[in-house]
């Protein structure tokens, strides 16, 4: 087994505070490499201190790097299922702490061995080690051995929403599936915001929403998550970090992070599901490159909304106008320039639930649709 331990609750609180108090600006991996940050700490004291407390909801398995090398066939190319700035993701099968044999996704952080990379890895272990919900990806285990930082998740066979939504070879997602995904992702965010210790996800986007075999959505990648404000504090002050096209404008301008920042990002994802367009697309005409800016003026107009619906979805009966208009109005409110005017995630969940049952849609949306201009 791995030799990296996680300290009790006092250590976790201390490390969690450290993880979230320093939030670099939006950087590419190559920019991070040039930033001169210290290498991963690997001294014996840290290793001994890092042990998850026994109150954790999710029993995690500590894997050795050799074990993970074996279950991925030596990190072979044919086991590779994804990658990004954090490193690569491989498919494998392990025996979990419960004794169950599971198919897993093994995310190797070795490509980013800066201290920031370590903090993001540790943040994921802290949050997913203590949070459990059907719409959050399950963390099975980890490896913390020398400079190796690895996370082992449940395997999500259908990959990310991004891979389906913008694929040129996969069949387009039907409207009902898009609304199922929207609801599942909203439930995940609502759970984080309503947790005993509220969490701001901070990097909500289609590439971080994964799908199981039944298109159930689960949030993944908690490396940028932060504890929400407590007491009489209205926000968390940070330096900017996230993904352009999804980040709330007030967060970019001030560094003030709130749950409403996640709500704005949710509105952008809802637009992507509605239009089939990317949040930021430099290949489009200048006025259409930023999805939120382009679509927002059309979201309150019945005819204009139907004109921006993803044309790949097909017949009108598969994409009912009233359901589309309800989703458009919801996105409109999420993208309000005034954070206080945005809905809470729990209210978004309540608005989306009727859209899962077509016979109920007309009754559920009539008030909103009547407020739309022709």
Q: Kindly report, residue by residue over 217-271, the tens digit of the pLDDT.
A: 999 988 787 766 665 555 565 666 668 899 999 999 888 889 999 999 999 999 9
Same domain, 191 and 323: yes
Q: Of the segments 101-110, 198-207, 341-350, which one has the largest average pLDDT value? A: 341-350
Residue 58: predicted pLDDT: 64
What mean pLDDT is predicted for residues 66-72? 91
* Domain membership of residue 170 as a residue range: 161-370
Compare 317 and 67 and report the one with higher pLDDT: 67
Q: What is the mean pLDDT of residues 205-224?
A: 93
Q: Provide the CATH number for the domain around residue 140.
A: 3.30.200.20
Residue 166 clears pLDDT 80, i.e. is over it: yes
Catalytic, out of 112, 203, 221, 227: 203
148 and 170 housed in the same domain: no
* Phi, psi (rounded to 5 degrees) for 80: -75, 125
End-of-domain residue from the set 154, 178, 194? 154
**Residue 155 backbone phi and psi in degrees, to 5:** -80, 130
- Note the pLDDT of residue 358: 55
Residue 206 has a pLDDT of 96
Which residues define the annotated binding site for ATP?
107
**Could you tell me if 273 and 193 lie in one domain?**
yes
Q: Is 1 inside a domain boundary?
A: no
List phi, psi (to 5°) of 185. -65, -40
One domain, residues 134 and 70: yes
| Residues 229, 338 share a domain | yes
What are 32-47's pLDDT values in tens digits?
Answer: 333 433 343 333 334 3
Residue 269 lies in a domain: yes
pLDDT band at 67 (very low <50, low <70, confident <90, very high): very high
Does one domain contain both 145 and 184? no
Q: What is the mean pLDDT of the chain?
A: 78
> Does residue 245 form part of some domain?
yes
Q: pTM of the predicted model, to two decimals?
A: 0.79
Segment 18-33, tens digit of pLDDT: 333 333 333 333 343 3
Give tens-digit pLDDT for 51-62. Answer: 344 344 567 888
List residues bridging with 94 in a β-sheet: 102
User: 110 pLDDT band (50/70/90 cuts)?
Assistant: low
Mean pLDDT over residues 132-147, rounded?
A: 89
On whether both 168 and 134 belong to a single domain, the answer is no
Query: In angstroms, rounded to a whole number, what is the distance separating the alpha carbons of residues 266 and 206?
Result: 9
**Residue recorded with tokens 């719409």:** 135
Residue pointed to by tokens 């001030």: 254
Same domain, 133 and 244: no
Per the model's pLDDT, the better-predicted residue between 116 and 175 turns out to be 175
Residue 4 covered by a domain: no
The answer to whether 203 is a known catalytic residue is yes
Distance CA 110, CA 147 (A): 7
Residue 3 lies in a domain: no
Same domain, 272 and 141: no
- So what's the pLDDT on residue 360? 44
Which of 148-157, 177-186, 353-362 shows the lowest per-residue confidence on average (mean pLDDT)? 353-362
Q: According to the model, what pLDDT value does residue 121 have?
A: 82
86 within domain boundaries? yes
Residue 236, pLDDT score: 62
Q: Any idea which of 128-132, 155-159, 163-167, 334-338 has the lowest mean pLDDT? A: 128-132
Residue 324 and residue 208 share a domain: yes
Percent helix, strand, coil in the chain (nearest 5)? Answer: 45, 15, 40
Lowest mean pLDDT: which of 29-38, 83-92, 234-243, 305-314?
A: 29-38
Q: What is the CATH number of the domain that holds 296?
A: 1.10.510.10
Domain end, chosen from 105, 134, 154, is at 154
2 domain residue, yes or no: no
Considering the domain architecture, whether residues 340 and 195 belong to the same structural domain is answered as yes
Backbone angles phi, psi at 241, to 5 degrees: -155, 135
| Listed residues 103, 130, 154: the one ending a domain | 154
Q: Are residues 107 and 233 in the same domain?
A: no
Domain count, the chain: 2
Question: Does residue 337 form part of some domain?
Answer: yes
Determine the pLDDT at residue 266.
98
Q: What is the pLDDT of residue 259?
A: 92
144, pLDDT greater than 60? yes
């Amino acid at each position: 087994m791995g030799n990296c331990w996680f300290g009790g609750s006092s250590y976790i609180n201390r490390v969690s505070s450290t993880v979230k108090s320093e939030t670099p600006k939006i950087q590419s991996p190559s920019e991070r490499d040039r930033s001169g940050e210290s290498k991963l700490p690997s001294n014996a004291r840290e290793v001994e201190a890092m042990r998850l407390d026994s109150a954790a909801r999710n029993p995690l398995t500590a894997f050795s790097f050799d074990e993970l090398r074996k279950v991925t066939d030596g990190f072979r190319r044919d086991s590779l299922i994804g990658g990004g700035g954090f490193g690569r993701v491989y498919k494998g099968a392990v025996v979990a702490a419960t004794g169950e044999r599971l198919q897993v996704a093994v995310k190797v952080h070795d490509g980013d061995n800066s201290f920031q990379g370590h903090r993001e890895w540790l943040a994921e272990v802290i949050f997913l080690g203590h949070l459990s919900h059907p719409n959050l990806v399950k963390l099975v285990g980890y490896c913390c051995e020398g400079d190796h930082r690895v996370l082992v998740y449940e395997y999500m066979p259908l990959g990310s929403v991004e891979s389906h939504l913008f694929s040129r070879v996969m069949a387009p997602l039907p409207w009902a599936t898009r609304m199922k995904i929207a609801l599942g992702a909203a439930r995940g965010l609502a759970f984080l915001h309503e947790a005993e210790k509220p969490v701001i996800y901070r990097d909500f986007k289609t590439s971080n929403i994964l799908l199981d075999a039944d298109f159930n959505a689960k949030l993944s990648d908690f490396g940028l998550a932060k504890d929400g404000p407590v007491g009489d504090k209205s926000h968390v002050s940070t330096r900017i970090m996230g993904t352009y096209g999804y980040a709330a404008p007030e967060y970019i301008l001030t560094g003030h992070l709130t749950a409403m920042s996640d709500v704005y990002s949710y509105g952008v994802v809802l637009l992507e599901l509605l239009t089939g367009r990317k949040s930021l697309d430099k290949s489009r005409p200048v006025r259409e490159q930023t999805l939120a800016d382009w679509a927002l003026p059309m979201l309150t107009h019945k005819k204009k909304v139907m004109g921006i619906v993803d044309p790949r979805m097909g017949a009108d009966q598969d994409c009912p106008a009233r359901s589309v208009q309800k989703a458009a109005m919801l996105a409109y409110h999420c993208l309000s320039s005034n954070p206080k005017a945005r809905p809470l995630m729990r209210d978004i969940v309540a608005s989306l639930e009727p859209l899962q049952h077509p016979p109920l849609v007309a009754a559920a949306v009539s008030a909103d649709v009547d407020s739309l201009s022709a």
